[in-house]
Chain A
């Protein structure tokens, strides 16, 4: 049994810019509709602010902006996926989230790199399964503090002068 299980990655599937992305389900603490957000000044654009998630102040990342897509107004479909990872609680704002799918490990391939495209470090690979294409995300890279601190410091310097 154990062997069979390990051949699949149980993943949460969410939509972003009409593409489907996947992330291991065990990272996910909850999926929420949009809640009131408090903006945090001096942070990069992709940080939308913080929200009160049952008493815990949780930062929110807008994945569209993080990935450099066009911003889109939030709708009824918009969801916040609460990720619990390495002592960090972070919410990811996505266009929609409906599925949990067992992706066979065998179907996962490395990211196809077209000539001239920039290597994107937060994508672990792609999986083609059941006539659908899933992009597998690397949570460590998405939540990398490097980018966050770089931008925060830049903004701080702008404010201080």
Chain B
């Protein structure tokens, strides 16, 4: 079987469907009566089932199939949703997810699903006998080609409703060739086509029976569509091994009637379905305008572009040396165009942060149960876009911070009520762009950080002295909880561990070129805000000269540059410091730190780059400033992975390598 080429698509789409299952289940939990949501879930489950059956992942298909049955019962009002059912469906979705991940890891996607299947069966059957009755009815009339008598009230209303909205109802009978081997596959293909042109309201035999190949060679469906009968026929005939297609118009007016209340109910539901339908049709042209591109190709494009940026730098240098008018003009134009090109390429690699955020609702739901807390999660700015490389890295730190907020931040309902707050705590995730950065804020309305507890712990652990504790600002104190070996939870819990972790969060974020700050008010809550660069590969730097060597300092960490007379340099405890806008800022000489060989120049003036990280500042003494430039960040390779105060390298316009200074290592 030539399955492999479809495997990628299968995996991608399964992930999407599982995500949509998760999202909609959460919505459904809040609004259990909403049939539209059930329909959405059903649709995802159905597609997932079809795909996994086609790909031969039987366990996956079985489980989805049973889930679909339950959902179908809910959809047709034969089953009322309760939290127990939702819980079971959640576990099913979890199981589906783990199977899909197994497939991603090269596994077979096999898992023992019998327990879950039984649970689902129990839910399905434990219900009223209407369910089994209809089933019987379905089976007994499996071969009849007249479908009208089988339409129930709900389906009739849908048909009527769609008729009024200008859709046509057809009864489509498809006859497969007697020699057809993979009947289910053909049925699946036919249904794919039918779902593209409209909506299948009913099928005889039922979809389940069709997929189990539990039919002869023909089947009939009721289709709601805007297409004409000929078009439908032509489209279906494109599927091979089909003998004939008969399309008849279906009039439904005469079938309506029955209980008034029920009718009203179904009308509402029908409205929702048809609205839903319109929505999907209007969305379709949008999706056809995107294509999936392998990330490796984008990476290759990026690499090529990096080479171009390097050559652009070189060209700029040459034209500046030659001072030829036409050349300068052309180079300038090229620089502008490649700037635009860079924006486009970077944008292509942008992914909405929703990819990370979307797993949090589930996580928060589960954690709040484990912790017996009531938590309302608010997500703002899920469509904020970030470079893929950043997205891949930021997930774990965020998980950690959220766990931390749930565990240590938000109190139990009793405690909250006692302090006059609503029993339900709020956790807010907010992502937004600002300048060349993306900010992610995680705020809770919990207990806040107790300064005294932190300082006491920090003194106990020997992180700071008593004197330091008193002189520290609140911000400095809060930063302490991200030092390694620090834990404030009196009780070690499974949820957020023992204080190993927040320091890892901090270092991960810093490794990404970002920073994290904490703000808190006792009794009101805390805010953890993360600042991240939009992209990691092309950065703006300030090139500086130290004797004969060139060092690049990332612009993002530079506060400003200054020229300082040597008389202005003071010493404090044998360290050089300057008074910079009213603050005492320590000075570090790059010549000394990097041990740069060559003769010392004795200048009266020093060029200083003031760098900043959070609240802390340091002045770096260099010999001269060369200027600002966009450069491509490169690593020093695997061999030199651990060089002090150097975060990478870049290739300059003249082909030489310049080292990029890791400013965070120089700030203490």
- A88 B642 Cβ-Cβ under 8 A: no
Identify A40's interface contact among B634, B640, B655, CB under 8 A: B640
Cβ-defined contact, B638 with A87, below 8 A: yes
Name B594-608 residues within 8 Å CB distance of A.
Answer: 594-597
CB within 8 Å for A47 and B638 given contacts A38-B659, A40-B646? no
Q: Are A88 and B638 in contact (CB under 8 A)?
A: yes
- Interchain nearest-CB distance for A15 vs B (Å): 24
Q: Do B635 and A38 touch (CB < 8 A)?
A: no
* Of the residues B593, B639, B656, contact of A59 by C-beta under 8 Å: B639
Residues of A within 8 A of B649 (CB): 38, 50, 57
CA distance in complex: A118, B643 (Å): 30
- Quick one: which of B602-654 are within 8 Å of A by CB? 634-640, 642-646, 649, 651
In the complex, chain B residues whose CB is within 8 Å of the CB of A58: 637
State the main secondary structure of chain A at its contact with B: mixed
Option from B593, B596, B634 in Cβ contact (under 8 Å) with A57: B634
Pick the residue among A40, A52, A56, A160 that contacts B643 (CB under 8 A): A40
Q: How far in angstroms is the closest Cβ of chain B from A64?
A: 18
Interface members, chain B 175-200 (any A CB < 8 Å)? none
Which A residue's beta carbon lies closest to that of B546? A41
8 Å CB contacts to A: which residues of B504-558? 549
A108 at the interface (CB under 8 A from B): no
Q: Are A36 and B655 in contact (CB under 8 A)?
A: yes
Contact of B636 among A39, A57, A155, A159 (CB under 8 A): A57
Given A40-B643, A87-B638, A88-B639: A51 touches B595 (CB 8 Å cut-off)? no
Which one of B635, B646, B655, B657 contacts A41 once the chains associate, using CB atoms below 8 Å?
A: B646
Check: A98 CB closer than 8 A to any chain B CB.
no
Q: Is the CB of B644 within 8 A of A42?
A: yes
Is there a chain A Cβ closer than 8 Å to B342's Cβ? no
Q: Contact at B307–A152, with CB atoms within 8 Å?
A: no
A132–B128 alpha-carbon span in the complex (Å): 94
How many positions in chain A have a CB within 8 Å of any CB in the partner chain?
A: 31
A68 to B: closest C-beta gap in Å = 20
Closest to A47 in B: B640
A90 to B639, CA, bound (A): 7
Chain A 130-161 near chain B by CB (<8 Å), digits 1 or 0: 00000000000001010011001001100110
Whether B250 is near chain A, meaning CB under 8 Å from some CB there, is: no
The reply on B310 being an interface residue by CB < 8 A is yes
Is A55 in the interface zone, CB < 8 Å from B? yes
Hey, what's the 0/1 contact readout for A22-48 against B, CB within 8 Å counting as 1? 000000000000001011111100010
Interface flag for A89 (CB, 8 Å): yes
Q: Is the CB of B637 within 8 A of A156?
A: no
Given A38-B649, A41-B593, A52-B656 contact (CB < 8 Å): yes
Contacts of B310 in A (CB 8 A): 55
Contacts of A159 in B (CB 8 A): 593, 595, 644-645
Query: A66 CB to closest chain B CB, in angstroms?
Result: 13
Measured CB to CB, the closest approach of chain B to A160, in angstroms, equals 8
Given A41-B593, A87-B638, A90-B637: A55 in contact with B643 (beta carbons within 8 A): no
Given the complex, which residues of B lie within 8 Å of A47, measured CB to CB? 640
Selected from B593, B645, B658, the residue in CB contact (under 8 A) with A38 is B658
For the complex formed, measure the closest distance between the CB of B299 and the CB atoms of chain A, giving whole angstroms. 14
Q: When the two chains form their complex, are residues B595 and A59 in contact, meaning their CB atoms are under 8 A apart?
A: no
Instruction: With both chains docked as a complex, state the minimum distance between the C-beta of B653 and any C-beta of chain A, in angstroms.
Output: 11
Contact of A43 among B549, B597, B637, B643 (CB under 8 A): B643
CB distance from B668 to the nearest CB of A (A): 9
Most buried by B among A36, A41, A51, A156: A41
CB of B657 within 8 A of CB of A52, answer yes
The answer for the CA separation of A70 and B327 in the assembled complex, in Å, is: 49
Chain A residue numbers with a CB within 8 Å of B643 are 40-43, 152
CA distance in complex: A160, B643 (Å): 13
A54 to chain B, nearest CB (A): 9
A38 to B549, CA, bound (A): 8
A155 → chain B, closest Cβ, in Å? 7
B interface size (C-beta, 8 A): 28
Chain A proximity of B488: nearest CB distance (Å): 28
CB distance from B465 to the nearest CB of A (A): 19
Query: Of B307, B310, B549, B640, which is in contact with the most chain A CB atoms at under 10 Å from its CB?
Result: B640
Among candidates B549, B593, B655, residue contacting A52 with C-beta atoms closer than 8 Å: B655
- Given A40-B643, A41-B594, A41-B596, check contact A55 B637 (CB 8 Å): no
Shortest Cβ gap from A71 to chain B (Å): 14
In the assembly, what is the distance between CA of A149 and CA of B639, in Å?
Answer: 10
Chain A minimum-CB-distance residue to B645: A42
**Which chain B residues numbered 549 to 600 have a C-beta less than 8 Å away from chain A?**
549, 593-597
Contacts of B636 in A (CB 8 A): 40, 50, 57, 59
B644 touches A155 (CB 8 A): yes
Q: How far is the CA of A56 from the CA of B635 in the complex (A)?
A: 9
CB–CB B644/A152 < 8 A: yes
How distant is the Cα of A155 from the Cα of B632 in the complex, in angstroms?
28
* A74 and B597 alpha carbons, distance in the complex (Å): 18
**Which residues of chain A (70-94) have a CB below 8 Å from chain B?**
86-90
With a CB–CB cut-off of 8 A, which chain B residues contact A43?
Answer: 640, 643
**Cβ–Cβ < 8 Å partners of A145 in chain B:** 639
**Of A51, A52, A57, A143, the contact of B635 (CB 8 Å cutoff):** A57
A153 CB, min distance to chain B CBs, angstroms? 8
Q: Which residues on the A side are within 8 Å of B595 (C-beta)? A: 41-42, 159
Task: Give min CB distance, B622 to chain A, whole Å.
Answer: 14
Give the distance to chain B from A74, nearest Cβ to Cβ, in Å.
Answer: 16
Instruction: Report Cα–Cα, A56/B651, bound state, in Å.
Output: 9
Q: A146 → chain B, closest Cβ, in Å?
A: 12
Taking CB as reference atom, which chain A residue is nearest B649? A57
A36→B646 contact, CB < 8 A: no
* Chain A CB within 10 Å, residue with most, of B596, B644, B645: B644
CA distance A148 to B659 in the complex (A): 19
The complex places the Cα of A90 from the Cα of B594 at a distance, in Å, of 22
Task: List residues of B (475-529) whose CB comes within 8 Å of A's CBs.
Answer: none
Q: Flag A88-105 by CB within 8 Å of B: 1 or 0 each.
A: 111000000000000000
CB distance from B153 to the nearest CB of A (A): 66
Give Cα A42 to B642, complex, Å. Answer: 10
Extra contacts, 20 of them, besides A50-B637, A51-B657, A148-B639 (Cβ < 8 A), are: A38-B658, A40-B640, A41-B646, A42-B595, A42-B645, A42-B646, A43-B640, A43-B643, A52-B655, A55-B306, A55-B307, A55-B310, A55-B651, A57-B637, A57-B657, A59-B636, A145-B639, A152-B644, A156-B644, A160-B644
Can you name 18 A-B pairs with beta carbons within 8 Å?
A: A38-B659, A40-B640, A41-B593, A41-B594, A42-B594, A42-B643, A42-B644, A42-B645, A43-B643, A47-B640, A56-B637, A58-B637, A59-B640, A86-B638, A89-B639, A143-B639, A148-B639, A159-B593
* For the complex of A and B, 9 pairs with smallest distance between CB atoms: A41-B594, A38-B657, A156-B644, A42-B644, A57-B649, A88-B638, A88-B639, A57-B634, A59-B640
